[in-house]
Amino acid sequence: MRVLGIDPGLTRCGVGVVDVRPDRKAALVEVTVIRTPADMPLEQRLLAVGTGIDELLDAHRPDVVAIERVFAQHNLRTVMGVAQVSGVALHAAARRGLRVALHTPSEVKAAITGYGSADKKQVQAMVARILGLAEAPKPADAADALAIAICHAWRGSPAADGGAGGAAAGGAAQTPAQAAWLAAERSARTSGVPRRLAR
């Protein structure tokens, strides 16, 4: 499965592409960060991010697009930018008929580290280890995008509404990471959507 993961942001939008085999081994295809300056008009910033996502989708032809789920936070300006970029990404995927999945930060952390409250350094270290890299890609947005892509591939291709995927929700024995992911998802459904990965 080829997954294109997106860590949406207006100033920095992380995009990571991974190939994941049925045995869960993952390989890095590409990782980058699309940047836009704060003094650029909003419509031009969204156009630049959208163009960058379009180019990556066309170059790598993923099977699915995985995006970090937007949620409310104290910084309204930040969450607005995240929501706007998420909309651009969703539109780009829909135009190509691609499936889209949305994952909360806790789901991603649990899938990658086995712990839904892992810190950013733990996630980055595990991304590097999973992909066989000497160090995690920088900036953090790049590693986050890869974590989102790996999370999606490992949890069993859920629908965009956040439903449980087959591999994690089926009758097969769960790995510790899958069990932690399920707990994180249940918590998100009952207590509200958790915070995004700390910037």
Inter-axis angle of helices 140-155 and 105-113, nearest 10: 80
**pLDDT of the residue at 189:** 54
Catalytic-role residue among 30, 43, 58, 68: 68
Res 97: pLDDT: 97
Burial class from Cβ neighbours inside 10 Å (0-12, 13-18, 19+) for residue 18 reads buried
- Which of 19, 30, 141, 161 is the catalytic position? 141
Task: Report the predicted TM-score, pTM, of the whole model to 2 decimal places.
Answer: 0.77
Is 68 assigned a catalytic role?
Answer: yes
Q: What's the confidence (pLDDT) of residue 96?
A: 97
The pair of structure tokens assigned to 54 is 């379009």
Residues with pLDDT less than 50, the chain: 157-175, 178, 191-199
CB atoms within 10 A of CB 41: 8
Q: Which residue has the tokens 């008009």?
A: 41
Catalytic residue among 7, 107, 144, 185: 7
| pLDDT score for 184 | 56
Asked whether the beta carbons of 146 and 18 are under 8 A apart, the reply is yes
Let me know: does 3 contact 17? Beta carbons within 8 Å.
yes
pLDDT tens track for 169-181: 333 344 455 455 5
CA R_g for the chain: 16
pLDDT for residue 187? 61
Provide the token pair at 131. Answer: 């992909």
Q: For residue 4, what pLDDT is reported?
A: 98
Residue 144 is a catalytic residue? no
Q: How far apart are CA 39 and CA 104, in angstroms?
A: 30
